[in-house]
Amino acid sequence: MKQFVRRLRASFRTRSWRAGAYSVFAAVLVVAMGAVAVLAVSALPASMNQWDMTKNGLYSISEGTQQVLAGLDRDVTIYWLVQEDHENVTVQQMLYKYAQYDHVTVTEVDPVRYPGFAAGYTDEEITDNSLLAVCGERSLYIPYADVWTYSDYEQYAYYLNNYGEEYLDVFTGEEKLTSAVLYVTSDVQPVMYYLTGHGETGVSESVLNALAMQNISTRSLNLLTEKAVPADCDVLALFGAVSDLTDREAEMVRAYLKDGGQLLLTTAYTPAGETPNLEALLADFGLDLVGGYVMESDSRYYNYGYIDLILPTLGQHAITAPLTAGEGHAVIMPDAQALTDASGEAGPASVTALLTSSSTSYVKLDVEGADNYDRRDGDPEGPFILAAASERSDTGARLVVFGSTRFMEADFSDMVSGTNLDLFLNGADWLCRQEQSISIHPKTLTGEYLSFTDSAANALKVALTVVVPVLFLAAGVCIFVRRRRR
């Protein structure tokens, strides 16, 4: 026994034991330092230890929202209606960002424990992760179904039928919540009157609902039954008229604009010269209507296979700024009419092109009589203005005109992830002189997948299952042999 003890003590004095003890001590020290560092970093505010590395800024709020929240002068309470342990992480991250601002308070309320709480604000059925914005006597409820949407109907149907769950891949929470904050903190809601009686194409419910989300109230108006444009009209709109304004209507519109009114136009195809009163209104803002349909010769500027689905270049303006920031977004213009700048250097109207076709574009003036859309001698050549903003320095009146009526509808706006509708809404906000109420672009959660050919996939399998393990084994053998030789 004594001999064993002596040998044990002697082993502690060997060079190998001292080296091993040193290695263990160093490892423990490194682990301890790492643990302390993790605890220290975790104690910091999330703004200092969390970074949004997602390409579309999923866990950040946009510059437009930051401006809205920083400019608040009233206290807003955002109630997060959710049961415990049912919190949606994306909604949670978004609300944390809102709560960083002085006049914003986020309060979590369990709708099961307090079933009567939301009844004082809305009659709708309350679902988990719904939101409620309150400021004074004004409130707006945002159901969870409006916070998420889907961009792929087939995926949506598959998930719903097989798993009983929705396929939600587009997050619109920031768009809805910022709009709700603006709504509850606004004393007056801008009113847009849209004209009827000229064969207008009409406005879909989805566009009207989108305007409502921008806190813009919409009402129809027939000037033939009125003495003047209503006094509460903030924006007068004409969507795709195929017949001209009467002389009396044009006089009423001019009187409205002379007092600093705002005009929103979307054009529809009409033969040249058949809408002189409408064209005269455009001329007052320094724009000439060429008419016809714009076609593109360069494949970089039209949707594949369709030379009349224009992919225009975005200009620099407050209306386009949210869409040109970062990587920018694409706009698609179907059945677009051409405009030209006729303001001149000394004119009272200041024109800014929002959308422009390429220098290889051309116009087919007589679409109804054309047997094809190919370029021919005599066709007006581009570039053309497809959308513009104009402001008169003498009256302060503003105009936004889009050379297409269908562009903001879902059929085409969805082709570019909603950018068309965003542009339209931004134009409406600019006319309402609420530039801070810009449209917030929805954020997609759909991942980008890395695809391989069969041969590449097989090669990768061999590399990961055979080559890499053999290399590690060979390295281990080499290290073992070298140590045995010492």
Place of tokens 């082709």: 415
Looking at residue 159, what is its pLDDT?
A: 44
CA–CA dist 152, 211 (Å, integer): 24
Topology of 63-181 in CATH? Glutaredoxin (3.40.30)
CB atoms within 10 A of CB 298: 14
Which DSSP helix (H) or strand (E) runs through 183?
Answer: helix 173-185
Looking at residue 153, what is its pLDDT?
A: 45
Structure tokens at 266: 């979307």
- One-letter amino acid for residue 157 of the chain: A
Looking at residue 15, what is its pLDDT?
A: 65
Looking at residue 448, what is its pLDDT?
A: 45
Q: What angle do CA 373, 377, 382 make, to 5 degrees?
A: 70
170 and 147 Cβ atoms separated by less than 8 Å: no
Sign of CA dihedral 88, 93, 96, 97: negative
Please report which residue ranges of 54-135 form alpha helices under DSSP H.
Answer: 63-70, 89-98
- The answer to whether the bond into 383 is cis (omega within 30° of 0) is yes
pLDDT in tens, 446-478: 544 454 555 666 787 888 888 888 888 888 888
Looking at residue 1, what is its pLDDT?
A: 64
CA dihedral of 129, 169, 203, 124, whole degrees rounded to 10: -20
Looking at residue 86, what is its pLDDT?
A: 87
Which residues of the chain have a pLDDT value below 70?
Answer: 1-22, 41-60, 149-170, 271-273, 325-328, 345-346, 367-373, 435-457, 486
What is this structure's pTM? Answer: 0.68
Looking at residue 263, what is its pLDDT?
A: 95
Looking at residue 156, what is its pLDDT?
A: 44
Looking at residue 447, what is its pLDDT?
A: 47
Q: Which of 287, 263, 388, 378 is nearest to 333 (CA)?
A: 388
CATH number for the domain whose boundaries are 191-433:
3.40.50.880
Looking at residue 219, what is its pLDDT?
A: 92
Place of tokens 């007092």: 259
